[in-house]
Chains A and B, each alone.
Chain A
Amino acid sequence: METELVIISPQIYHASVIGFAKKAAESNENVCYVSLNKTYKSMLQALKKSSIEKKKFFFIDVISPTVFKTAAAKQCIFLDSLNLNDLGSTLLGVIKKNRITLVIFDSLSSLLVYKKDDEVLDFTNYVLPFLEESGVKATLLCLSDDSEKPAIKQLKMRVGDVTLMKE
């Protein structure tokens, strides 16, 4: 199964993300949306605004607990720190439990704010083989500003497809 790295210019980033979500919702995919830069509530609001059905989505929200007190949610797991072992094991658990067929990871750029390139690569080297063996597709999002960072350059060679989106 294909892992895609999507490199997006900042000006169209959020519109593009909603576009991916819409496409995923219209397909037969069960989606796990990993968010490091949009709160679960803001994603629900954005999906509703764009008339995107939320029932096919399960969320892992790593940003809300760093700002707010969060309450348990049916379709979301909140992680209160960006521990990559926890994120990896939570993601794999969610995939198994919810029969996920597509992971949207938003984003490698956000991950690179907190983690070094080699830590990001360790994480992707842990997660991606599992996804590929399980037949789960992955869309890894990244801002074009970060496209020359070492981790992203490595991933360009590692993934099945690289897409560049700009204005």
Chain B
Amino acid sequence: MATIIIVDDHKDIVDTLVKIVVKMGHTAVTAGNGEEFLSKVSDAKPDLALLDVMMPGLTTKQILNGLKEKNLGNLKVILVTVVRFADEEKKALMSEHNIVDYVTKPFKVHELMESIKRQL
């Protein structure tokens, strides 16, 4: 069983993701924005983060840099977002940060589950 931190400002999305994570037999921790994520992530010791890109408050760049400073080497991140990136941008994100996958909203539940399974 793994611990997965869900970071999204939309409560309905968080609720859906929590249900998916719990159904897969994992533990879910939630954060409503980047600040909350960075304040919780060290104590929560998650194995995986499902991170939205477009949230009020800290920018994604700030969140990812903040995460890097915490040196949580094993924490993998899946971006779950409506934001569309070019292929080269996805590669850059994956090489510069510990981002392991990218799931676009609206997502299909089985695709997200597959993505989570691949990382754990």
Is B82's CB within 8 Å of the partner chain A?
A: yes
C-alpha spacing A36/B98, complex, angstroms:
24
Is A162's CB within 8 Å of the partner chain B?
A: no
Residues B83 and A39 in contact, CB atoms below 8 Å apart: yes
Residues B85 and A113 in contact, CB atoms below 8 Å apart: no
Chain B residues with CB under 8 A of A110: 54, 82
Q: Which of A62-70, A94-102, A126-134 contacts the other chain?
A: A62-70
Tier of interface size on chain A: 20 to 34
Residues A39 and B82 in contact, CB atoms below 8 Å apart: no
Q: How far is the CB of A113 from chain B (nearest CB, A)?
A: 5
C-alpha spacing A36/B84, complex, angstroms:
10
Number of A-B residue pairs with CB-CB distance less than 8 Å in the complex they form: 55
Tier of interface size on chain B: 20 to 34
Tell me which residues from 101 to 120 in chain B have a Cβ below 8 Å from any Cβ of chain A: 105-106
| A67 and B60 contact, Cβ closer than 8 Å, known pairs A14-B84, A39-B86, A41-B86 | yes
Nearest-CB residue, chain A, relative to B57: A114
Is A46's CB within 8 Å of the partner chain B?
A: yes
Q: Which of B19-27, B36-44, B70-78, B87-95 contacts the other chain?
A: B87-95
Is A90's CB within 8 Å of the partner chain B?
A: no
Nearest-CB residue, chain A, relative to B60: A67
Residues A45 and B55 in contact, CB atoms below 8 Å apart: no
Chain A residues with CB under 8 A of B89: 39, 41-42, 67-68
Residues B9 and A67 in contact, CB atoms below 8 Å apart: no
Residues A38 and B53 in contact, CB atoms below 8 Å apart: no
Residues A113 and B105 in contact, CB atoms below 8 Å apart: no
Encode contact with A along B47-87: 1 for CB under 8 Å, 0 otherwise: 00000011110011100000000000000000000111111
